[in-house]
Structure 1
Amino acid sequence: MAQILAPTTQWHMRLNKSSTNANPMTAKMWGSLLLKQNKKGVSKSSSKFRVYALQSENSTINRLEGLLNLDITPFTDKIIAEYIWIGGSGIDVRSKSRTIPKPVEHPSELPKWNYDGSSTGQAPGEDSEVILYPQAIFKDPFRGGNNILVICDTYTPQGEPIPTNKRHRAAEIFSNQKVIDEVPWFGIEQEYTLLQTNVKWPLGWPAGGYPGPQGPYYCGAGADKSFGRDVSDAHYKACLYAGINISGTNGEVMPGQWEYQVGPSVGIEAGDHIWASRYILERITEQAGVVLSLDPKPIEGDWNGAGCHTNFSTKSMREDGGYEVIKKAILNLSLRHKDHISAYGEGNERRLTGKHETASINTFSWGVANRGCSIRVGRETEKKGKGYLEDRRPASNMDPYVVTSLLAETTMLWEPTLEAEALAAQKLALNV
Structure 2
Amino acid sequence: MAQILAPTSQWQMKVTKSSATASPMTAKMWGSLVLKQNKKGPTRSSTKFRVLATKSEGYTINRLEGLLNLDLTPFTDKIIAEYIWIGGSGIDVRSKSRTISKPVEDPSELPKWNYDGSSTGQAPGEDSEVILYPQAIFKDPFRGGNNILVICDAYTPQGEPIPTNKRARAAEIFKNKKVIDEVPWYGIEQEYTLLQTDVKWPLGWPVGGYPGPQGPYYCGAGADKSFGRDISDAHYKACLYAGINISGTNGEVMPGQWEYQVGPSVGIEAADHIWASRYILERITEQAGVVLTLDPKPIEGDWNGAGCHTNYSTKSMREDGGFEVIKKAILNLSLRHGEHISAYGEGNERRLTGKHETASINTFSWGVANRGCSIRVGRETEKQGKGYLEDRRPASNMDPYIVTSLLAETTLLWEPTLEAEALAAQKLALNV
TM bucket, shorter chain: 0.7 to 0.9
Taking a change above 3 Å as real, the CA distance of residues 279 and 219 of structure 1, as seen in their structure-2 partners, is: same
Q: Distance in 2 between matches of 1:118 and 1:55?
A: 37
Q: Does the CA-based 8 Å contact 2:36-2:50 persist in structure 1?
A: no
- The alignment's C-alpha RMSD in Å is 10.0
Q: Does the CA-based 8 Å contact 2:12-2:243 persist in structure 1?
A: no
Deviation at 1:63, TM superposition (A): 2.6
Taking a change above 3 Å as real, the CA distance of residues 101 and 360 of structure 1, as seen in their structure-2 partners, is: same
Q: Distance in 1 between matches of 2:165 and 2:135?
A: 12
Ranges of 4+ aligned residues in structure 1 off by more than 2 Å: 1-63
Q: Does the CA-based 8 Å contact 1:195-1:293 persist in structure 2?
A: yes
Taking a change above 3 Å as real, the CA distance of residues 352 and 143 of structure 1, as seen in their structure-2 partners, is: same
Taking a change above 3 Å as real, the CA distance of residues 128 and 320 of structure 1, as seen in their structure-2 partners, is: same
SS at match of 2:35: helix
Q: Distance in 2 between matches of 1:385 and 1:4?
A: 17
Structure 2: which 5+ residue stretches go unaligned? Answer: none
Q: Distance in 2 between matches of 1:18 and 1:165?
A: 41
Taking a change above 3 Å as real, the CA distance of residues 184 and 19 of structure 1, as seen in their structure-2 partners, is: closer
Q: Which residue of 1 aligns with 2:421?
A: 421
Q: Distance in 2 between matches of 1:58 and 1:49?
A: 23
Is 1:187 the counterpart of 2:187? The answer is yes
Tell me the TM-score normalised to structure 2 length: 0.87
Q: Does the CA-based 8 Å contact 1:52-1:63 persist in structure 2?
A: no
SS at match of 2:133: strand
Deviations 1:362-408 (A, max 9, x none): 00000000000000000000000000000000000000000000000
Q: Distance in 2 between matches of 1:362 and 1:85?
A: 33
SS at match of 1:383: helix
Q: Distance in 1 between matches of 2:235 and 2:20?
A: 44
Q: Distance in 1 between matches of 2:413 and 2:277?
A: 29
Q: Distance in 2 between matches of 1:141 and 1:37?
A: 13
Q: Does the CA-based 8 Å contact 2:369-2:379 persist in structure 1?
A: yes
Q: Does the CA-based 8 Å contact 2:79-2:102 persist in structure 1?
A: yes
For the pair shown, the structure with the greater C-alpha radius of gyration is 1
Deviations 1:14-46 (A, max 9, x none): 999999999999999999999999999999999
More helix by proportion, 1 or 2?
1
Write the mapping of 1:27-46 to structure 2, written as runs, cut at 5 A: none
Deviation at 1:13, TM superposition (A): 33
Q: Does the CA-based 8 Å contact 2:32-2:288 persist in structure 1?
A: no
Deviations 1:205-240 (A, max 9, x none): 000000000000000000000000000000000000
Q: Does the CA-based 8 Å contact 1:10-1:49 persist in structure 2?
A: no
Q: Which residue of 1 aligns with 2:130?
A: 130
Q: Which residue of 1 aligns with 2:342?
A: 342
Q: Distance in 1 between matches of 2:71 and 2:269?
A: 30
Is 1:50 the counterpart of 2:28? The answer is no
Deviations 1:165-208 (A, max 9, x none): 00000000000000000000000000000000000000000000
Q: Distance in 2 between matches of 1:288 and 1:240?
A: 19
Q: Distance in 2 between matches of 1:428 and 1:5?
A: 26
SS at match of 2:259: strand
Is 1:227 the counterpart of 2:224? The answer is no
Deviation at 1:112, TM superposition (A): 0.1
Taking a change above 3 Å as real, the CA distance of residues 78 and 429 of structure 1, as seen in their structure-2 partners, is: same
Deviations 1:1-22 (A, max 9, x none): 9999999999999999999999
Taking a change above 3 Å as real, the CA distance of residues 297 and 41 of structure 1, as seen in their structure-2 partners, is: farther
SS at match of 1:24: coil
Taking a change above 3 Å as real, the CA distance of residues 145 and 364 of structure 1, as seen in their structure-2 partners, is: same
Taking a change above 3 Å as real, the CA distance of residues 74 and 386 of structure 1, as seen in their structure-2 partners, is: same
Taking a change above 3 Å as real, the CA distance of residues 267 and 376 of structure 1, as seen in their structure-2 partners, is: same
Q: Distance in 1 between matches of 2:4 and 2:319?
A: 46
Q: Does the CA-based 8 Å contact 1:112-1:133 persist in structure 2?
A: yes
SS at match of 1:44: coil
Taking a change above 3 Å as real, the CA distance of residues 23 and 405 of structure 1, as seen in their structure-2 partners, is: closer
Q: Does the CA-based 8 Å contact 1:53-1:61 persist in structure 2?
A: yes
Taking a change above 3 Å as real, the CA distance of residues 33 and 297 of structure 1, as seen in their structure-2 partners, is: closer
Deviation at 1:431, TM superposition (A): 1.4
Deviation at 1:131, TM superposition (A): 0.1
Structure 1: which 5+ residue stretches go unaligned? Answer: none
Deviations 1:333-370 (A, max 9, x none): 00000000000000000000000000000000000000
Q: Distance in 2 between matches of 1:243 and 1:233?
A: 16
Q: Does the CA-based 8 Å contact 1:186-1:404 persist in structure 2?
A: yes
Q: Distance in 2 between matches of 1:318 and 1:35?
A: 39
Q: Does the CA-based 8 Å contact 2:189-2:259 persist in structure 1?
A: yes
Q: Does the CA-based 8 Å contact 1:305-1:351 persist in structure 2?
A: yes
Q: Distance in 2 between matches of 1:17 and 1:402?
A: 40
Taking a change above 3 Å as real, the CA distance of residues 324 and 204 of structure 1, as seen in their structure-2 partners, is: same
Write the mapping of 1:28-107 to structure 2, written as runs, cut at 5 A: 62-107=62-107
Taking a change above 3 Å as real, the CA distance of residues 54 and 11 of structure 1, as seen in their structure-2 partners, is: farther
Q: Distance in 2 between matches of 1:253 and 1:314?
A: 30
Q: Distance in 1 between matches of 2:134 and 2:231?
A: 28
Aligned identity (percent) is 91
Q: Which residue of 2 aligns with 1:313?
A: 313
